[in-house]
Amino acid sequence: MRKLQMDELGRKSVAEFKAADKTPLVVVMDNVRSMHNVGSVFRTADAFLLQGIVLCGYTPVPPHRDIQKTALGATDSVEWQYFPTTVEAVEALRAEGFAIIAIEQAASSVMLNNFQPEAGKPLALVFGNEVSGVDAAVMQLADGCIEIPQLGMKHSLNISVSTGIVIWDLYCKLTKDK
């Protein structure tokens, strides 16, 4: 088996990315501390042509070399915006027609493998702080909650890993008939 060279991958330019039809998902980052996590989420959003990213609270924003270190240029392709609070972001996204889905361990959560997105309804996926998770006030505003099944001793995953898992699963569900 031969590994493909960069020029064989057929990657989009920034202009082609911006013009392309997007996956109807927005990632909302609720007070995420790590610039490396932010950069990694940008890179994942680019990989799956997400509609955008919303950075909230003290989540670091581009440009910054530590975000770029993991984003590898995805801050140029992926649309993003900043809100001082996640509550403000959620209210704005709801007004735009997004269903607000928290990614959290909660009493009424639905396991990711059992979650079925509503056809034609864009989703805003709220990922929380690395230690405290999604803020309680934001949880009260969520239309639903997805939990990633975990079988081992630990009961949490790094936000960049969680984002990748959830986006991949939802991308597959949203594009299965295409």
Q: What confidence tens digit (pLDDT) does each residue in 94-140 have?
A: 999 999 999 999 999 999 999 999 989 999 999 999 999 999 999 99
**Joined tokens for residue 85:** 């609070």
Give the chain's end-to-end CA distance (angstroms, integer): 28
Mean pLDDT computed over 169-173: 97
Q: Contact at 8 Å (CB) between 163 and 126? A: no
| pLDDT surpasses 70 at 67 | yes
Write out the DSSP string of 85-142: SHHHHHHHHHHTTPEEEEES--TT-EEGGG--PPTT--EEEEE-BTTTBS-HHHHHH-
% of the chain with per-residue pLDDT over 90 = 95
pLDDT of res. 177: 74
- Kindly report the CATH number that applies to the domain delimited by 25-147+157-175: 3.40.1280.10
